[in-house]
Structure 1
């Protein structure tokens, strides 16, 4: 069984723990260095790597940036896999790794009726697209968010801090995250945003 395609019975905690540890070591980072770059506590990172802490969406996105991988690089590419926090649940619909090393991830995103999810910047050149299917949302680059209702689609640079919120009773839709290949050839670079 390949290293990054765990048994279906393996818990998300264990799979995420193994991936974070492997990526951190591959990049020559100590626990302290990665925790500092991700803006999380060293104890939190240690518990994630031990598989004893729940991997929340916010923490995983905070780690994905410094590790230079898309979200699926941490949670796996199994359709239906999901992560959540108090505001957002993201369930993977599909992921494609392109010949150049870039990725396109497609998630079913559910935004709770209350609260705002602030997401850290992802890798350089990352672009996000959100099409609202039900409800209404306020999404985009922090401080420049835009409103959207069912049928609307918005795009923004995901390599800057951005947020997700519902403007009235919750929202659901399709979130597509395009992460270009890294400039060093190992996977996050440049993309052009189209509106």
Structure 2
């Protein structure tokens, strides 16, 4: 089964577990009902932006729809030769390397590439989410659109990801490792 079909099945399962109609999920994610229907049917390749909109509306980390705990990860040509499920956005290619579920948070580790001169505008993620980028190559500008942080090779940047934020490669392609930490909701 192709990755977009697996993602579609997981999206539908998550939506149904939450007893949400397609219309309600469309409203919450600010995506079209037809778009969601095509995603669930595996007929559309989702962008990184679309996946974040849907997973945030469902209240789950991105890796929840990219991985299937019962199946091995498919190999994908990715930044730095990394393999794993991936998603492309306006400026960023992200390959999931690891997902760690702790008692207090879910942490995802991605190998990322930010295309030269491109800007990725990311919507707010789940409340309390924090991102960390360790830059391997290039210079990245990340964080809040108005006052982001710049980090070069061997440097690290940290920012709140529960508000809109950006990824930018103003001076050439950027390669890095991205950690996203989603706190678990109190039960």
| Structure-2-length-normalised TM-score | 0.89
- Partner in structure 2 of residue 98 of structure 1: 102
2:85 to 62, 81, 85: 81
Distance 1:44 1:180 in 2: 29
Cα drift, residue 21 of structure 1: 0.5
1:174 aligns with 2:165: no
- Partner in structure 1 of residue 156 of structure 2: 153
Distance 2:117 2:31 in 1: 24
- Partner in structure 1 of residue 49 of structure 2: 58
Residue 169 of structure 2: SS of its match in structure 1? strand
**Residues 46-83 of structure 1, C-alpha deviation per residue, up to 9 Å, x if partnerless?**
10011100111110011111111111011116361111
Q: Would you identify which runs of 4 or more consecutive aligned residues in structure 1 move more than 4 Å?
A: none
Gaps of 5+ in 2: 74-82
Cα drift, residue 144 of structure 1: 2.1
Cα drift, residue 142 of structure 1: 2.6
Q: State the aligned residue count.
A: 174
Output aligned runs, 1:114-125, within 5 Å: 114-125=117-128
Residue 151 of structure 1: SS of its match in structure 2? coil
Residue 138 of structure 2: SS of its match in structure 1? strand
